[in-house]
């Protein structure tokens, strides 16, 4: 029986994870569930999955959750705060941690799980973008098993040899990172200037949380994923090509020096990579429908349009600059996406905020989590100030 802590249980990845877990009650048990705002959903999840602990952000939310559970036969103990998040991510009873908090908030609890040698199912790409070097060193030091849940990285992982350590020694020449192109594929920057948050969040193939949906629409998501892939697979940005593939059936590919290209295909449903991560190296049923290639009928591929989607170029540049440039990119993007969702800035201004923040700050090479948090904070401060200058 694998005992699991699910960080970010109430989100899109969290719900999909609980759906897969519930299909295999003799293989997986829930130790802890965490959530931020959707307390009724979290209360229901605690009852349905018999969580021993639930963690929310503050004391008020904890009282509210306790009140929701009062009078039910649910025995879940409710905790709150960052320290409690780290405790349930690192508790001795826990085998596996699904890291599915969105954004920079996921970094510290995910690192707590890494440092205690848990099996990590990594959906929170932002923690690798912010602190990839520290994160990967901690994985090595603790002997954590790190399995990628992001569909592209999970696909690449599946296409690499089982004993993969480095591209050169495995005959890998390139990683080909799939991108759907998002809802605005083929649009000019001018056409995108007026789009609303709801339009940006209406992804053609995937159903996801709002932040990653906006990132997918701006192609910042692909930029973050490029940085994520560099750390996960120990490659340089030059060894990765982004391939726009609008059907989202090929989730990514690995090109080998002998001319072979291996791909992983499937319906666009996150339960496949989640089930893969949970059961690896075995396979379990995930609830995802079989892929029908006759329904798919055709697979198209395009070059990404860096002019209309400047966020992808900014991420390439931050990856090349290294140091804390990716952490600054990530923080500025989070602030800008929130401002866009709050209708304070337009969609095209997300790139403008990130660009202004990257060019307004000096880069450094943080050697601790505190150092990374400092870079994150100064980028948030800079972006927030800039937004007050440019908002409607
Ligand atoms: P979501 O917005 O649906 O859910 C986010 C979860 O994080 C929720 O449970 C929320 O309560 C929690 N959370 C938010 N802010 C928090 C905070 N400050 N402190 C503690 N908890 C907080 O997001 P999602 O779409 O499930 O994405 C989660 C992560 O997985 C992101 O890093 C995203 O990039 C990654 N990811 C998602 C998908 C997808 O299909 N949804 C695919 C690949 C990767
Ligand atoms: Mg992805």
My answer on whether 172 and 278 are in the same domain is yes
Cα–Cα distance, 221 to 55 (Å, whole number): 28
Full domain range(s) for residue 391 = 322-392
Full-prediction pTM beyond 0.85?
Answer: yes
Give the closest ligand to the alpha carbon of residue 155.
2
My answer on whether 334 and 269 are in the same domain is no
Cα–Cα distance, 181 to 220 (Å, whole number): 11
Q: What does residue 231 show for φ and ψ, rounded to 5 degrees? A: -75, -45
Q: What pLDDT does residue 186 have?
A: 95
Which of 149, 183, 205 is at the close of a domain? 149
Helix (H) or strand (E) holding 130: helix 125-142
Which of 300, 318, 336 is at the close of a domain? 318
Question: For residue 136, what are the CA distances in angstroms to 25, 97, 119, 339?
Answer: 32, 16, 13, 31
My answer on whether 176 and 132 are in the same domain is no
Nearest CA to ligand 1 atom 23: 209
Using CB distances shorter than 6 Å, the residues near ligand 1 are 8-14, 35-37, 57, 100-102, 105, 123-126, 150, 206, 208-209, 211-212, 270
Instruction: Spell 368-386 as b/e; 16+ CB within 10 A means b.
Output: ebebbbebbebbbebbbeb
CB within 8 Å of 288: residues ≥ 6 apart:
266, 267, 269, 271, 272, 275
Q: What pLDDT does residue 325 have?
A: 98
My answer on whether 354 and 389 are in the same domain is yes
Which of 127, 149, 171 is at the close of a domain? 149
Got the DSSP string for 299-324?
Answer: ---B---TTT-HHHHHHHHHHHH-TT
Report whether 351 contacts 218 (CB < 8 A).
Answer: yes
Q: Which atom of ligand 1 is found nearest the CA of 212?
A: 34
Q: Which atom of ligand 1 is found nearest the CA of 126?
A: 32
Other Cβ atoms less than 10 A from the Cβ of 359: the count is 9
Q: How far is the CA of 75 from the centre of ligand 2 (A)?
A: 35
User: Which two three-digit tokens encode residue 6?
Assistant: 């699910």
Total domains in the chain come to: 3
Report whether 106 contacts 348 (CB < 8 A).
Answer: no
Q: Biggest alpha carbon distance in the chain?
A: 64
My answer on whether 285 and 309 are in the same domain is yes
Pocket test for ligand 1, best of 153, 208, 221 (most atoms within 8 A of CB): 208
My answer on whether 182 and 273 are in the same domain is yes
Nearest CA to ligand 1 atom 39: 208
Q: What pLDDT does residue 172 have?
A: 98
My answer on whether 211 and 360 are in the same domain is no
Report whether 159 contacts 252 (CB < 8 A).
Answer: yes
Give the closest ligand to the alpha carbon of residue 268.
1
My answer on whether 189 and 52 are in the same domain is no
Give the closest ligand to the alpha carbon of residue 277.
1
My answer on whether 71 and 157 are in the same domain is no
Cα–Cα distance, 231 to 157 (Å, whole number): 13
My answer on whether 270 and 335 are in the same domain is no
My answer on whether 170 and 212 are in the same domain is yes
Cα–Cα distance, 342 to 208 (Å, whole number): 18
* 14: CATH: 3.40.50.720
Q: What pLDDT does residue 206 have?
A: 86
Report whether 123 contacts 151 (CB < 8 A).
Answer: no
Which three-class secondary structure state does DSSP give residue 341? helix
Q: What pLDDT does residue 392 have?
A: 81
* 388: CATH: 1.10.1740.10
Pocket test for ligand 1, best of 39, 45, 101, 129 (most atoms within 8 A of CB): 101
Give the closest ligand to the alpha carbon of residue 57.
1
User: Per-10-residue mean pLDDT for the chain, 392 residues long?
Assistant: 98 98 98 97 98 98 97 96 98 98 97 98 98 98 98 98 94 98 94 94 91 97 98 98 98 98 98 98 98 98 97 98 96 98 97 98 96 98 97 84
Helix (H) or strand (E) holding 250: strand 250-256
Nearest CA to ligand 1 atom 30: 123
Residue with tokens 């690896």: 280
My answer on whether 300 and 326 are in the same domain is no
Q: How far is the CA of 35 from the centre of ligand 1 (A)?
A: 10
Pocket test for ligand 1, best of 10, 62, 86, 100 (most atoms within 8 A of CB): 100
């Amino acid at each position: 029986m694998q005992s699991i802590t699910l960080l970010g249980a109430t989100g899109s990845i969290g719900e999909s994870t609980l759906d897969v877990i519930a299909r295999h009650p003799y293989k997986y048990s829930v130790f802890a569930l965490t959530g931020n705002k959707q307390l009724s959903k979290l209360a229901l999840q605690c009852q349905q999955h018999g969580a021993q602990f639930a963690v929310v952000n503050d004391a008020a939310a904890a009282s509210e959750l306790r009140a929701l559970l009062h009078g039910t036969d649910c025995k879940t103990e409710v905790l709150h705060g960052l320290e409690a998040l780290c405790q349930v991510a690192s508790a001795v009873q826990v085998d596996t941690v699904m890291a599915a908090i969105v954004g920079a908030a996921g970094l510290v609890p995910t690192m707590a799980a890494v440092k205690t040698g848990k099996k990590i199912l990594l959906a929170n790409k932002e923690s690798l973008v912010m602190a990839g070097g520290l994160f990967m060193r901690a994985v090595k030091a603790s002997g954590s098993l790190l399995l990628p849940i992001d569909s592209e990285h999970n696909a690449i992982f599946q296409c690499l040899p089982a004993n993969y350590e480095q591209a050169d020694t495995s005959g890998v020449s390139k990683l080909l990172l799939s991108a759907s192109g998002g809802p605005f594929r083929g649009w000019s920057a001018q056409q995108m200037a007026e789009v609303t948050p709801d339009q940006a969040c209406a992804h053609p193939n995937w159903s996801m949380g709002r932040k990653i949906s906006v990132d997918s629409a701006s192609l910042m998501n692909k930029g973050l994923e490029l940085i994520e892939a560099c750390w996960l697979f120990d490659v340089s940005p030059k060894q990765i090509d982004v391939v726009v593939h609008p059907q989202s059936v090929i989730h990514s590919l690995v090109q080998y020096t002998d001319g072979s290209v291996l791909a992983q295909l499937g319906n666009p449903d996150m339960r496949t990579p989640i089930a893969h991560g949970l059961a690896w190296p075995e396979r379990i049923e995930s609830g995802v429908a079989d892929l029908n290639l006759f329904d798919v009928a055709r697979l198209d591929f395009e070059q990404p349009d860096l002019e209309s989607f400047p966020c992808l170029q900014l991420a390439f540049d931050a990856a090349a600059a290294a140091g804390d440039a990716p952490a600054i990119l990530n923080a500025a993007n989070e602030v800008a996406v929130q401002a866009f969702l709050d209708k304070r800035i337009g969609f095209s201004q997300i790139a403008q905020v990130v660009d202004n923040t990257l060019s307004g700050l000096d880069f450094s090479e943080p050697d601790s989590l505190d150092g990374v948090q400092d870079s994150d904070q100064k980028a948030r401060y800079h972006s927030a100030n800039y937004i007050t200058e440019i908002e409607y």
